[in-house]
Chains A and B, each alone.
Chain A
Amino acid sequence: MVKISVLQHAPSAHLPTRPGDPTPTQRNLDPLMHPFAKARERTRALNAAKIERIFAKPFVAALEGHMEAVETMSRRPESLTAVASGSWDGGLIVHDIAQRTHLMRVNDAHKGKVSGVCFSDEHRLLSCGVDRNVKLWDTREVDENGAGPSESRTPLSIFPGKSAFNSIDHHRSDPLFATASTVVQVWDETKSAPISNLTFPTSTETISAIKFNLAESSVLASIGSDRTFTLYDIRTGKAERRVVMQMRSNALSWSPTFPTSVLLASEDHNLYTFDVRSLNTPTHIYKGHVAAVTSCDWSPTGLEFVSGGWDRTVRIWKEGVGTQPEVYHTKRMQRVASTLFTADARFVLSGSDDGNLRMWKARASEKLGIIDTRERAAMEYRDSLKERWKFDKAVGKISRTRHIPKPVHKASQTKRTMLEAQRVKEERRRKHTRAGESKPKAERKKVVIAEQT
């Protein structure tokens, strides 16, 4: 007997049982059933890269209110929206960045520029200025004296100093704060005079910024105009160690996740992370800016950080990736004096010389608003495609290329040419000296000149 069977598809298995039901699907993973799988995946990756660039519209809003350059910013602890900013015109504003309103506004908080702000607790704000005063403000909508947002406010207390202040930072738990002028001073909120002066024995510098460590709250770091980075301990009241660098730093920020990692924004266009356990070399160099970096701030996740520069750009870096940062710029944004990550790590704030506070998305192509599950899955799939095909020429080029303003582009070209020329010259010089006499020096070893304890 011959056995015969003929293929037939039962429609009941492949058609919806009731009208309105989804049509059942069937899978066959045999590669022969999926010709050109790789080529199609590449096309999808290419489209994903293009889609990302099409939707990369990072600018969210400009928060107005200051008359002059925004010098300093600080976010309120345990709040996603409140950010205080101080300006060169002496104005002080607490913004609600979600509503884009002012929670508090003081027009003449200081004479001359406000050089530093920080929150002391939920409702109290400290500001320091070049008028040699530190002022403590109540930021509630109607303060204890009954002054509302529109009326002129008076500070809760004033701490007079001897010289102009450059920076201020509050202790994490205790009612202490530190200010930077020619010396680092530690103050008690209840006392009108500093409780201690911290200085490195041989220093004659002006301190430009200070920050308390986030894990060990008694450790304090400062940077100064004589190209130094100094560590203090307020319990011993002494400067612990100090490094002198090739160029001065303009801003510093402690990593929120790794206790000994500190980020310095340097005048030599680079950013450096140092591990304070070994200060002789930086752990990473971040190269990208084409002018002095004036500000920096870590993301609360500790995986990325933002920097703003004299070259009128804001850049977002991944921790440990020293090149090709995300670049943000607008036609009207001037030199960026201060930058800040928001507490949810989704947004970046930049304050610039044109008196505006700008809000940017931390991921340029992120969609704001509700994302349903299928959309989320599609986005994740696109992300993994981009990651997988980033070495493809076309895909990589699209996701790497950034449009940057012509002056910045020219400056980076010039800079590259100059560095190349320097390198070639150095190489030639080495070639014509006796063998082994002058060895090439690693870039990381060039940064620190001296380490002092």
Chain B
Amino acid sequence: MDSLFAKADAIAPVSKRRKTGKHVQRNKPGPSKQPSAESDKTAHSVAKHTNLPPSLRPTSPTLEGTKKYSHIADKKLRTQLTRQSANTARAKALVKDAELLLTEDAGMVQVEGELEKTWRVSQQEVSQAAGQEAARARQEWRLDGGPYRSRYTRNGRHLAIVGRKGHVATFDWQTGTMHSELQLGETCRDITFLHDHSHYAVAQKKYVFIYDRDGVELHRLKSHIEPTRLEFLPYHWLLASVGNAGYLKYQDTSTGKVIAEHRTKLGGCNTMCQNAHNAVIHLGHQNGVVTLWTPNLPHPAVRLLAHLGPVVGLSVDPSTGGRYMATSGQDGTVKVWDCRNWKGAVRQWATRGGGAELEWSQKGVLAVATGGSVNTYAKPAIQSPFTSSVNPPLYLTHPIPHRPLTSLRFCPFQDILTVGHTAGLSSILVPGAGEPNFDSAEADPFENKQARREREVKGLLDKIQPDMIALDPEFVGSLAPEPKLTTAVDDKTDVPFARLPRLERLRVSGKADETEEGAEDAADQGSDEEATSRLSKAEKEKKKMRGKNKSLKRYLRKQRKNVIDPKAVAVREKLTKQREERKKAIAIARGEVEPRKPSALDRFRRST
């Protein structure tokens, strides 16, 4: 038996005392001491030729940023948390190393000295300076059929265009392969690709239609009536549309169900954009209001009076994680707002030529199309607070003679801005607009057919439910806020709610009737206190029940169930008021108080 115990003691002694940081471990010199890593010759000789899996790699010395959870009593939990934070710190360090993988450099325009200005650089100079391949992107498409709008896929490879008169085309702009070209013969107001270039939706005269890559009509979405603008939320697989009737509708393109219909109550809407980082839809309205919508809220999450007059352009900055929003109004101003703090615009300036189209690029270049020209502004200037309404320094500008300019789209992962106007479309080069390094797991301009299919399936599996859209996308997986309801009675230990007595339960949930039973009577009699004190004991006894049987008081007495009841509260208030009036009348009768004289202003007094 002793040998058995000795064997067990060698593995784990029976003592149960917890060792925390307070008890310093005594290092006993002796043969049982662990040999240090340096002196371990075997490990040293093997180390060169072996590779430990990450889970077994030594964690000492602990990386900086590793938290110590010495306050946690549970040993197992403490170890787990410490290991977790060490892993997090290591992962952070590894992410820093991963910056080596970012091989490509962003484009730029650099000037020497004060006298040179970037906005003096013309498109001709840019395309001369750019390589042959990049210069091909500078294009003019002369098309009939009214002002054009365009949309790129998420990987920037494919472009869809739609003319007001019903000319729709989708194509791979790099290779010049046309996927489909349709003459729909009716008013078309907007176009958007769905999850990739294999499907696209067109906002036509009456309904939204979905076409496949080859231009075959797949669906007519009858619930979207007279749509004006479309947006597709790729991670939620939602097609959002807003129309002349002022309804914002969300349709799930994977199941086909309309999941939300919001009545904006602000009339027809012509301006819409999405925040790519929290999937909130921004709408700009005719009365100058900008509203932010999520599918699970029946009212706007944010409502903001942005302009005096209709809102014309809206865009959210993707380079800062959706922190800044730019709006432009018919009143000729452009405003940049901080989405975390809506108190006033960060910066605002006036433009020539009225309502401006806006678009923010991946790297944070803001393009503003007003009048006959497209102006672009670079990042730090437009987002730093500036009180006076002075134009920020211009980055590049490009005149386009075909007014009005109706749409602006930056091509993802390219330095290209596509401008839609009456005579077709023109693509201009804006160096520094596009993100140079794409992630193949998210959007890959060079993906093949197989990768596209795989991404489609993966995307469907990872589809986020629409009710998880919120202003703060980080709420998923964070700790729930602590409930305000506490069940501690008199600051003593927390007893579970179900085990409290009834009155305590009512008190905790704020429904207990805390008034004393005799309180009203006592207060009532208080006024006649001196009168009663004069009475003899016998007379007091005789008048004991006086006033008890008044109907209101009887009602209150019968009503008492320890629960606050609005009716009982009203009765009680009425009684107090009556008591006050009676007191006042007595005081006036005694001559202690002057009665209030009637005045001419009495007609404006609130009747009580």
**Contact residues of A with B, CB < 8 Å?**
1-9, 11, 13-15, 23, 25-29, 31-36, 38-44, 47, 213, 215-216, 219, 231, 233, 240, 258-260, 275-278, 389, 392, 424
In the bound complex, residues from chain B placing their C-beta under 8 Å from that of A277 are 5, 8-9, 14
Complex CA–CA separation, A4 to B134 (angstroms): 12
Question: Which residue of chain A has the shortest Cβ distance to B136 in the bound complex?
Answer: A8
Indicate if the CB atoms of B437 and A47 lie closer than 8 Å.
no
Indicate if the CB atoms of B464 and A2 lie closer than 8 Å.
no
In the bound complex, residues from chain B placing their C-beta under 8 Å from that of A40 are 235, 462, 464
Indicate if the CB atoms of B121 and A2 lie closer than 8 Å.
yes
Cβ-neighbour of A9 out of B8, B126, B319, B413 (below 8 A):
B413
Decide if B541 is an interface residue (CB 8 Å cutoff): no
Question: Which residue of chain A has the shortest Cβ distance to B413 in the bound complex?
Answer: A9
A26/B98 contact (C-beta < 8 A), A8-B131, A36-B235 known: no
What is the distance, in angstroms, from B530's C-beta to the closest C-beta of chain A? 47
**Contact residues of B with A, CB < 8 Å?**
1, 3-5, 7-9, 11-12, 14, 95, 98, 101-112, 116, 118, 121, 125-126, 129-131, 133-135, 235, 276-277, 279, 318-319, 321, 413-415, 429, 431-432, 434-442, 444-448, 451, 461-465, 468, 473-474, 476-477, 499
Subset of 12 A-B contacts with CB under 8 Å:
A4-B107, A4-B110, A5-B108, A6-B130, A6-B431, A7-B436, A26-B101, A26-B439, A27-B441, A34-B442, A36-B277, A43-B463
Most buried by B among A4, A9, A276: A4
Indicate if the CB atoms of A7 and B477 lie closer than 8 Å.
no
Most buried by B among A26, A34, A233: A26
For the complex with contacts A9-B446, A26-B103, A259-B8, 12 further pairs of A-B residues with Cβ separation under 8 Å are A6-B130, A6-B415, A9-B413, A27-B98, A27-B101, A27-B439, A27-B440, A28-B101, A32-B277, A38-B476, A38-B477, A276-B5
Question: Which residue of chain A has the shortest Cβ distance to B465 in the bound complex?
Answer: A43
In the bound complex, residues from chain A placing their C-beta under 8 Å from that of B321 are 31-32
Indicate if the CB atoms of A260 and B464 lie closer than 8 Å.
no
Indicate if the CB atoms of B4 and A47 lie closer than 8 Å.
no
Indicate if the CB atoms of B461 and A35 lie closer than 8 Å.
no
Indicate if the CB atoms of A7 and B104 lie closer than 8 Å.
yes
Indicate if the CB atoms of A3 and B110 lie closer than 8 Å.
yes
What is the distance, in angstroms, from B491's C-beta to the closest C-beta of chain A? 19
Complex CA–CA separation, A63 to B445 (angstroms): 57
Complex CA–CA separation, A213 to B3 (angstroms): 12
Complex CA–CA separation, A14 to B607 (angstroms): 80
What is the distance, in angstroms, from B178's C-beta to the closest C-beta of chain A? 20
In the bound complex, residues from chain B placing their C-beta under 8 Å from that of A29 are 95, 98, 101, 439
A35/B277 contact (C-beta < 8 A), A8-B130, A42-B476 known: yes
Number of residue pairs A-B, CB distance < 8 angstroms? 173
Indicate if the CB atoms of B477 and A392 lie closer than 8 Å.
yes
Indicate if the CB atoms of A25 and B440 lie closer than 8 Å.
yes
Complex CA–CA separation, A7 to B106 (angstroms): 6
Indicate if the CB atoms of A389 and B121 lie closer than 8 Å.
no
For the complex of A and B, the 4 pairs showing the least CB-CB separation, nearest first, are A6-B130, A4-B129, A216-B4, A25-B440
In the bound complex, residues from chain A placing their C-beta under 8 Å from that of B461 are 43-44, 47
What is the distance, in angstroms, from A246's C-beta to the closest C-beta of chain B? 22
Cβ-neighbour of B118 out of A2, A26, A38, A424 (below 8 A):
A2
Complex CA–CA separation, A259 to B98 (angstroms): 48
Complex CA–CA separation, A31 to B104 (angstroms): 18
Indicate if the CB atoms of B111 and A2 lie closer than 8 Å.
yes
In the bound complex, residues from chain B placing their C-beta under 8 Å from that of A3 are 108-112
Indicate if the CB atoms of A39 and B464 lie closer than 8 Å.
yes
Complex CA–CA separation, A13 to B102 (angstroms): 13
Indicate if the CB atoms of B112 and A1 lie closer than 8 Å.
yes
Indicate if the CB atoms of B109 and A4 lie closer than 8 Å.
yes
Complex CA–CA separation, A14 to B439 (angstroms): 12
A9/B445 contact (C-beta < 8 A), A23-B451, A42-B477, A278-B14 known: yes
In the bound complex, residues from chain B placing their C-beta under 8 Å from that of A1 are 112
Cβ-neighbour of A28 out of B121, B131, B439, B464 (below 8 A):
B439
Complex CA–CA separation, A276 to B1 (angstroms): 10
Cβ-neighbour of B468 out of A14, A39, A258 (below 8 A):
A39
Complex CA–CA separation, A264 to B511 (angstroms): 51
A44/B121 contact (C-beta < 8 A), A2-B109, A4-B126 known: no
Indicate if the CB atoms of B439 and A34 lie closer than 8 Å.
yes
In the bound complex, residues from chain A placing their C-beta under 8 Å from that of B465 are 43
In the bound complex, residues from chain B placing their C-beta under 8 Å from that of A8 are 130-131, 133-134
A260/B4 contact (C-beta < 8 A), A6-B415, A35-B473 known: yes
A6/B429 contact (C-beta < 8 A), A233-B1, A260-B5 known: yes
Indicate if the CB atoms of B431 and A5 lie closer than 8 Å.
yes
Indicate if the CB atoms of B447 and A23 lie closer than 8 Å.
yes
Indicate if the CB atoms of B125 and A259 lie closer than 8 Å.
no
Question: Which residue of chain B has the shortest Cβ distance to A31 in the bound complex?
Answer: B321
In the bound complex, residues from chain A placing their C-beta under 8 Å from that of B318 are 32
A7/B431 contact (C-beta < 8 A), A38-B477, A392-B477 known: yes
A35/B468 contact (C-beta < 8 A), A7-B434, A259-B11 known: no
Question: Which residue of chain A has the shortest Cβ distance to B470 in the bound complex?
Answer: A39
Cβ-neighbour of B125 out of A4, A7, A213, A424 (below 8 A):
A4
In the bound complex, residues from chain A placing their C-beta under 8 Å from that of B95 are 29
Cβ-neighbour of B438 out of A26, A213, A231, A258 (below 8 A):
A26
In the bound complex, residues from chain B placing their C-beta under 8 Å from that of A34 are 439, 442
